[in-house]
A and B are shown apart, each in its own frame.
Chain A
Amino acid sequence: MTMTRRQLVASIPAAALAAGLPRGATAQDGRKVVTFWFGQANSDGQAALRNDLVEAFNASQDKYLLQLEVKGAAVNNLLKVALVAGNGPDIVQTAGPAYLTAIANAGQVLPLDDFAEKYKWKDRFLAPLLNTSVYGGKLYALPRDYESMHLFYNKELFKQNGWKLPTNRKEMEEVADAALAKGIIPFGAGNADWKGVNEWLMTVFFNNVAGPDNVRKALAGELPWTAPPFVEAVELSKAWYNKGYFGKNYFSLTIEQSFLQVVNSKAAMAFSGTWSFGTKSYGMSKPDTVMDVMPTPTLGSAFSGSLVHLACGATLSIAKTSQNAEGAAAVFEFMLTRKFYETMNRDWPGKWALPVKDLPPDMLQGIGYPLFEKTIANLHEAFSKGQYGFTTWTFWPGATNSYLIEGIEQVWLNKITPDAYLTRMQTLFSQEAKEGKVPPLPPRTA
């Protein structure tokens, strides 16, 4: 349908009115409004959200009108305050199960079991990710995506220098030392704009040195964080930092600057997440002649081979006080359509990779992004088989995770010992475990 200029002008006030409608309101055309707050989105992401989600959903039916507000980095704080005050959005998006736990425990979001039965969500989602939102036998959220830490590397640089892809710690250190000798930074890394980069690295060290089984035992309270495998993990992170593997300017470079070091051959590798595919400025082209990506190899003796890390970057729930829960559920169901999956992943790769069985990654083959396609396919297979490690931002409770991020800087900068760091982590974790703040743990297989 095409609109005349007059119709377009006439629709502007109606659109403006709809954008400002409060939750539970009815739009001018009689549709019930569904409100949704989103956190940070770059310009590509915002365009994708408007086109592929909001406009596509609103055009798909005549009962509900989805209203999106991009709230920025402080969305998690705003959301908590708004929920307590009863003024939050209908759709409650959190930054992952660790954030959802407090909100679900406080009863601020609705159990989704009835909707899950109606739309067969429990059969459709990958169980390990869906189960991270099950509390007391009730489902409180749907996972929006799957993520993992991966090893991104400059394949041109590897080829020029004759370096082989590392399969264990020894080989990784050989490549890193060879890079250092040539004045190349082994791992492009920087946390000037986001301290969470610390936990990206510690997710790799904890899982790939201590092993995912030991991490799971610690999260289940069966092994203290002060146990030798974790001491070895923290000590290795400190040794690598002090050897200069992360460069001299880790605390001064932004994520983008540090990643571009790899793209520009100033650094050889980077531990980064699958969300990196969604940032065009990182310079990873489609298809790519410079960059490549692989699961992170083992860095200890706990396992051999490589490992992906189970993460859910965002959960989607419905507010307890929502007056349009059916509309919110209808939006969720829309997100599970093939068309949305394809368009959203084409326009904003890595951000909305729904972990749904009937949306297999081979559907992404048409988007022309081989690196992303192979990574998601690998994740889908590993997560389906239960072969994964555990990311800190998905499974560590809030205070413990906050200390994991802040305290490791003290270790790397020789302010405290690895033992002191892990002892403090254990103290915080024990307290939070006692208070029921540890997110649910999915099983894993070898």
Chain B
Amino acid sequence: MWLFALPALLINICIILVPAVLTFTAAFFIWDGVGTPMWAGLANFQNMVADPVFWSALTNNFIWTAIFLTVPVCLALVMAAALLMAPKARIVVQSIIFLPRIIAVAVTGRIFQGMIFSPATGIVAWLNEHGFSISDPLADPDRSLYAVAAVDIWHWWGFLAVVFLSAMRQISVDQIEAARLDGAGFFALFRHVLIPGIRPTLTLMLILTVIWSFQVFEFIFIVTRGGPAYGSEVLATFAYRHAFFEGDVGQAAAAACVMSLFGLCATAVYLWLQITDDAQST
């Protein structure tokens, strides 16, 4: 039996486990990326904890996680349920809401930066010219994280909706019809039939959202590079800056370890839920 898993296991060891172990090891060294690494013990972790930017980045990761566990998930659930009830509109609407997902992240980022938020060339500029005093949210350290999150939500929620719709379509039609005959309205159906019916998919997407939220990088790097004034800094941009601008690979590796720690916690929760489900079903 184990022989069947061997090829996949070997590939994973080579391209996942070895780099992961090397990254973990690098966190205990001072290394500029080209010279000879020097043992540092826990110094990289101590420096990281003493750096206020690290705490600000970590806080931003938690805020990001909270946003993505709620806003796109709620939007996607409601849209999926609506599409389930309206099969004729399904193909057209699915195509439209899925579209942002297939546009390259860099393109989406630039569109929002230059054509929507920009006070020179964007919708914000047009609104200002027509009497609405609106400033670019990307230029405000207190709003930039939320502005980038809005871009990512636009890119993400349609995909989630399609996934939830696929899961909802697996629910027995008889069960939905029975609920309707019992007088259940849209929200009662949603709460008592659809949500419980897609619980495994919902749980998986929520867990993955936590993992992805602690790895978020592309949109923030493209749109704000973590600024202004570290306003949208997250652990990944913190690590990138240390590795590639400051020549401090050890510090970057320490930040990467923290990112992985949250991913591991989320994975552990998922495995525990799976085991609990298996135990209940047997």
A and B part of one assembly: yes
B:100-131 near A, CB below 8 Å? 113, 117-121
Which of B36, B139, B225 counts the most A-chain CB atoms under 10 A from its CB? Answer: B139
Q: Inside 8 A of A257's CB, which chain B residues have their CB? A: 120-121
A:387-446 near B, CB below 8 Å? 398-399, 402-403, 406, 409-410, 412-413, 415, 437
The reply to whether the CB of B152 lies closer than 8 angstroms to some CB of chain A is: no
Q: Inside 8 A of B139's CB, which chain A residues have their CB? A: 249-252
A:92-142 near B, CB below 8 Å? 102-103, 105-106, 108
Q: Inside 8 A of B230's CB, which chain A residues have their CB? A: 406, 409-410
User: Assuming A102-B32, A249-B139, is B113 touching A413 (CB within 8 A)?
Assistant: no
The reply to whether the CB of B75 lies closer than 8 angstroms to some CB of chain A is: no
Contact status A402-B245, CB under 8 Å: yes
Contact status B247-A102, CB under 8 Å: yes
Contact status A192-B113, CB under 8 Å: yes
Out of A83, A249, A399, A413, which one reaches B247, CB within 8 Å? A399
The reply to whether the CB of A84 lies closer than 8 angstroms to some CB of chain B is: yes
Q: Inside 8 A of A76's CB, which chain B residues have their CB? A: 244
Contact status B241-A106, CB under 8 Å: no
B:137-172 near A, CB below 8 Å? 138-139, 141
The reply to whether the CB of B35 lies closer than 8 angstroms to some CB of chain A is: yes
The reply to whether the CB of B227 lies closer than 8 angstroms to some CB of chain A is: yes
Contact status A409-B119, CB under 8 Å: no
CB distance from B64 to the nearest CB of A (A): 20
Q: Inside 8 A of B241's CB, which chain A residues have their CB? A: 402, 406
Q: Inside 8 A of A106's CB, which chain B residues have their CB? A: 32, 34-36
CB distance from B107 to the nearest CB of A (A): 15
The reply to whether the CB of A31 lies closer than 8 angstroms to some CB of chain B is: no
Q: Inside 8 A of B245's CB, which chain A residues have their CB? A: 398, 402
Contact status B120-A249, CB under 8 Å: yes
Bound Cα distance from A410 to B142, whole angstroms: 12
Interface residues on A, range: 20 to 34
Q: Which single residue of chain A is at the shortest CB-CB distance from B223?
A: A192
The reply to whether the CB of A71 lies closer than 8 angstroms to some CB of chain B is: no
Chain B 18-62 near chain A by CB (<8 Å), digits 1 or 0: 000000000000001111100000000000000000000000000
Q: Inside 8 A of A403's CB, which chain B residues have their CB? A: 246
CB distance from B229 to the nearest CB of A (A): 4
Q: Inside 8 A of B141's CB, which chain A residues have their CB? A: 409, 413, 415
CB distance from B246 to the nearest CB of A (A): 4
Q: Inside 8 A of B118's CB, which chain A residues have their CB? A: 192, 252-253
The reply to whether the CB of A195 lies closer than 8 angstroms to some CB of chain B is: yes
Bound Cα distance from A369 to B229, whole angstroms: 39
The reply to whether the CB of A4 lies closer than 8 angstroms to some CB of chain B is: no
Contact status B119-A80, CB under 8 Å: no
Main secondary structure of the interface of A (DSSP, over half): helix
Contact status A249-B34, CB under 8 Å: no
The reply to whether the CB of A77 lies closer than 8 angstroms to some CB of chain B is: yes
Q: Inside 8 A of B225's CB, which chain A residues have their CB? A: 195
The reply to whether the CB of A339 lies closer than 8 angstroms to some CB of chain B is: no
User: Assuming A106-B35, A192-B113, is B120 touching A252 (CB within 8 A)?
Assistant: yes
Bound Cα distance from A383 to B49, whole angstroms: 44
Q: Inside 8 A of A385's CB, which chain B residues have their CB? A: none
Bound Cα distance from A415 to B244, whole angstroms: 25
Bound Cα distance from A103 to B118, whole angstroms: 39
Which of B34, B121, B246 counts the most A-chain CB atoms under 10 A from its CB? Answer: B34
Q: Which single residue of chain B is at the shortest CB-CB distance from A408?
A: B229
The reply to whether the CB of A243 lies closer than 8 angstroms to some CB of chain B is: no
Q: Inside 8 A of B36's CB, which chain A residues have their CB? A: 106
Bound Cα distance from A105 to B31, whole angstroms: 12
Bound Cα distance from A102 to B119, whole angstroms: 40
CB distance from B127 to the nearest CB of A (A): 14
The reply to whether the CB of A248 lies closer than 8 angstroms to some CB of chain B is: yes
User: Assuming A249-B120, A251-B138, A402-B245, is B228 touching A108 (CB within 8 A)?
Assistant: no
Contact status B136-A398, CB under 8 Å: no
Out of A84, A399, A437, which one reaches B33, CB within 8 Å? A84
Out of A102, A250, A412, which one reaches B34, CB within 8 Å? A102
Q: Which single residue of chain B is at the shortest CB-CB distance from A193?
A: B113
Bound Cα distance from A30 to B206, whole angstroms: 60
Bound Cα distance from A102 to B246, whole angstroms: 11
Bound Cα distance from A248 to B138, whole angstroms: 13
Q: Inside 8 A of B227's CB, which chain A residues have their CB? A: 195, 251, 406, 409
Bound Cα distance from A409 to B228, whole angstroms: 6
Q: Inside 8 A of A105's CB, which chain B residues have their CB? A: 35
Bound Cα distance from A435 to B246, whole angstroms: 13
Bound Cα distance from A81 to B247, whole angstroms: 12
Contact status B246-A409, CB under 8 Å: no
Contact status B136-A251, CB under 8 Å: yes
Bound Cα distance from A253 to B36, whole angstroms: 41
Q: Inside 8 A of B244's CB, which chain A residues have their CB? A: 76-77
Bound Cα distance from A253 to B33, whole angstroms: 33
Q: What are 17 A-B pairs with beta-carbon distances under 8 A?
A: A80-B33, A83-B34, A102-B34, A102-B35, A108-B34, A248-B135, A251-B227, A252-B136, A257-B121, A398-B246, A402-B245, A402-B246, A403-B246, A406-B230, A410-B229, A413-B229, A437-B247
Q: Which 8 residue pairs are nearest across A and B when measured between Cβ atoms?
A: A251-B139, A106-B35, A399-B246, A409-B229, A106-B34, A252-B136, A410-B229, A398-B247
Binding site for B on A (CB under 8 A): 76-77, 80-81, 83-84, 102-103, 105-106, 108, 192, 195, 248-253, 257, 398-399, 402-403, 406, 409-410, 412-413, 415, 437
- Beyond contacts A103-B34, A257-B120: 12 other A-B pairs, Cβ-Cβ < 8 A, are A102-B35, A108-B34, A192-B118, A249-B119, A249-B139, A252-B117, A252-B138, A398-B246, A402-B241, A402-B246, A409-B229, A415-B141
